[in-house]
Amino acid sequence: MCRKSVTGLRVVLACLLGLSSSLSQMPELPKSLGRLKLTKTLEGHEAQAFVDQLHQKAVAPKRSVTGEYQAGSLAASLYVSTYKADREAREAGDRMTRLIRGGNRVFGHYSEEVRSSVRVGRCVGMGQIHYLFRQGPRLFWLGADPAVSEEALDYLLRSVTARMIR
């Protein structure tokens, strides 16, 4: 093999390794949250744009993934944003908590508890129960219909703490 071919091959391999590394940084969503099954996902730019649209401003990091879960008429949505550092995720979570705790027209009745060694914020809004928690550089937001909210949260926490969602 000539020297240029070997160098070219190395460049291609380095690009592929970089691509696979960046793809593996996207969190893998659980296939189910109890009886709720994953029916739709958005990743990367699509997820970022969706989360930003929900907030009517740019809030989501580039590494975001969303999942929609269903079981008959019951539903839940999961939003996972991965930040560059734990500190950034903590600051984003603290900002969200302050906005909810201070009261707004969408979410109310904020409380916190420790579950599975994770501090979980809880609030009510838009007909669902919402949970917010951080695990390392990842910030999780789960919104679920009341009839399945506890079940969905329990399954999510087990998934996150058991394998630290990749």
What are the structural domains of the chain?
27-163 (3.40.1000.20)
Question: Which residues, given as ranges, of the chain have pLDDT below 70?
Answer: 1-27, 44-62, 163-166
Between the alpha carbon of residue 119 and those of residues 54, 68, 94, the distances in Å are 24, 23, 12
| Whole-number pLDDT of residue 64 | 81
- DSSP for the chain? --HHHHHHHHHHHHHHHHHHHHHHTSPPPPSEETTEEEEEEEEHHHHHHHHHHHHTS----SEEEEEEEEETTEEEEEEEEE-SSHHHHHHHHHHHHHHHHT--SS-EEEEEEEETTEEEEEEEETTEEEEEEEETTEEEEEEE-GGGHHHHHHHHHHHHHHH---
| Whole-number pLDDT of residue 1 | 47
| Whole-number pLDDT of residue 45 | 59
pLDDT tens-digit readout, 118-138: 999 999 999 999 999 999 999
| Whole-number pLDDT of residue 10 | 35
Calculate Rg over the CA atoms of the chain: 18
For the four alpha carbons of 72, 75, 77 and 78, in that order, the dihedral sign comes to negative
